[in-house]
Structure 1
Amino acid sequence: MEEPTRRPEARPETIAQKQVRLFGGGRDTGRIEAFSDGVFAIALTLLVLDLRVPELHGRTVWAAIVALWPQFLGYVLSFLIIAINWVFHHRKFRAIIRYDTRLIWINLAFLFFVALVPFPTSLLSEYAPDPAAVSLYAASVAILGLLATVLWQYAHRKGFLSPAVDRDLARFTTVNNLVVPVVFVASIPIALFWNAEIAMFFWIANWPVSIVVDRVWGHRAAGPDPDGEPLKD
């Protein structure tokens, strides 16, 4: 009579494996969101430091203020860029209901470039329409959008999203996220090899492209909400 085959004994869990199991993820993203909100708030505040009271040098006050238009343009543009990214980040974390260590690091990489925005903004305010300043600004904004997309896609692939977010909605959100980085990346060769001022005006294409994406993709019929954990408040 043949002896029954013995199953190999399970190896005992190592301390490192236990650390990953206990501390490597969770369901409460509140601290991630609170920290992210703080970085966004500081970055928005730093933008205003480029707006300084001008020296007259024989000009009228109105003329001196008008001469600051590059600084005002950089402030308004960057404020909108950071604000839009905050809105998207807030919306994403309504749907992201779980996390792991890798998602935290992706979010930190994203926040790194959020905090960096004031620097290319200062260069753009001071040296626009220099091709290098315009290109660096466009690259910074594009990286922000790409990292936001990576964050969303990673959460989707790992199953960290609420079941209320189906595959079609996740894809639509991804396409919407890619509009800004695609437009800003496309403006870089325009700035370097053609005309930097035209490259800056090219950034306006974000709005019509977003509208087209919404009309073409966003107006499709949505599927029913699946059973499961709803979005967070």
Structure 2
Amino acid sequence: MARHPAHQRVPPPVTAGSVLAVSTPTRGGEDESAGAIIGPERLLAFGDAVFAIAITLLALDITVPGDLEARDLGRALHRTLSDIGAYLLSFVVIGVLWISQHTLFHRVARLDSALLHLYLALLAVIAALPFPTRLISEYADTPAATAVYSGSIALASGLLAAMTLRLLLRPALATPGTDPGRLRVSMYEGLVMVVVFAASVPLAFASPAAAQLWWLAAIPARAWLSRRTRKAPSRRPSGAPPRN
């Protein structure tokens, strides 16, 4: 029988239990969880790509037939006004969500599984937004299209608010010096979007036009919260460096 030199270590046989032990982080070992491996910066870069693709797909829906005669072009352009309106609406909504996610990740020092899964769920909703946008473009006067669009925006805003709440509940995930008061205001801004768009779902079945006008209520509500944020004194922990 061949003998191994004393200074060489014979690896143990690979079993299901040993694989699990290697892939599971221990107290003294390196954290190999998905959140630790990916990191906030890499996840945010992936999210930026998803946001950019979603906005691009919105613009691709604005088309006119290619075989029109000159006298018919004006009517065709007029018919695209609903497509342009839906595009601008979703562009603004996605833009607000994109800015909000960057504001949130500015305060994220590390990820855990909850933050990772919440963010992946958010990206799934963002990637699918061209579909409800198309619905609201072609069937804006129907309760179903208005309700689907409202529910999609409410869900996306709710996921961002849940991520902010996670940072409040787990301060160790936040960057040093993060002001909990500003996190709460960010969460309230997300909840404003949730309340406005979720409330418009039942309203859409009474009047789709009234539900769509109700969406505008999010603008003064968020503006009021922004003014409150600027006026509120910062409550950083003592000795913490100022945030930019």
In the superposition, the TM-score normalised over structure 2's length comes to 0.80
Instruction: Name the residue aligned to 2:95.
Output: 83
> 2:102 aligns to what SS in structure 1?
helix
**CA–CA distance in structure 2, aligned partners of residues 151 and 78 of structure 1:** 22
**CA–CA distance in structure 2, aligned partners of residues 108 and 133 of structure 1:** 25
> 2:63 aligns to what SS in structure 1?
coil
- Which residue of 17, 21, 25 corresponds with 1:18? 25
Specify every segment of 5 or more residues in structure 2 that has no aligned partner in the other structure, as ranges: 1-19
Instruction: Name the residue aligned to 2:9.
Output: none
Which digits, 9 at most, give the CA deviation of each residue in 1:119-177, with x for residues without a partner?
Answer: 10111111111100000000000000000111111123222112322221111111111
Within the alignment, does 1:154 sit opposite 2:166 as a pair? Answer: yes
**CA–CA distance in structure 2, aligned partners of residues 144 and 168 of structure 1:** 22
**CA–CA distance in structure 2, aligned partners of residues 36 and 226 of structure 1:** 34
**CA–CA distance in structure 1, aligned partners of residues 140 and 99 of structure 2:** 28
Within the alignment, does 1:49 sit opposite 2:56 as a pair? Answer: no
Equivalenced residues, count: 219
Specify every segment of 5 or more residues in structure 1 that has no aligned partner in the other structure, as ranges: 1-12
Query: Counterparts in 2 of 1:26-175, with a 5 A limit?
Result: 26=36, 28-54=39-65, 60-159=72-171, 160-175=173-188
**CA–CA distance in structure 2, aligned partners of residues 118 and 26 of structure 1:** 32
Instruction: Name the residue aligned to 1:181.
Output: 194
**CA–CA distance in structure 2, aligned partners of residues 224 and 136 of structure 1:** 41
Is the contact between residue 187 and residue 202 of structure 1 (CA under 8 Å) also seen in structure 2? yes
**CA–CA distance in structure 1, aligned partners of residues 31 and 232 of structure 2:** 42
Answer with 33-42 or 63-72: which moved more: 63-72
**CA–CA distance in structure 1, aligned partners of residues 134 and 26 of structure 2:** 43
> 1:23 aligns to what SS in structure 2?
coil
**CA–CA distance in structure 1, aligned partners of residues 117 and 90 of structure 2:** 24
**CA–CA distance in structure 2, aligned partners of residues 79 and 158 of structure 1:** 32
> 1:223 aligns to what SS in structure 2?
coil
Which digits, 9 at most, give the CA deviation of each residue in 1:42-76, with x for residues without a partner?
Answer: 11111112111147589643332122221111100
Instruction: Name the residue aligned to 1:211.
Output: 223
**CA–CA distance in structure 1, aligned partners of residues 191 and 76 of structure 2:** 39
Identity of aligned residues (%): 32
**CA–CA distance in structure 2, aligned partners of residues 31 and 230 of structure 1:** 25
Between Structure 1 and Structure 2, whose CA radius of gyration is higher? 2
Q: Tell me which amino acid in the other structure corresponds to 1:26.
A: A
Q: Post-superposition shift, 1:15?
A: 4.2
Q: Tell me which amino acid in the other structure corresponds to 1:22.
A: D
Answer with 133-142 or 183-192: which moved more: 183-192
Which digits, 9 at most, give the CA deviation of each residue in 1:62-93, with x for residues without a partner?
Answer: 33212222111110011111111111111111
> 2:174 aligns to what SS in structure 1?
coil
Larger RCO (alpha carbons 8 Å, 6+ apart): 1
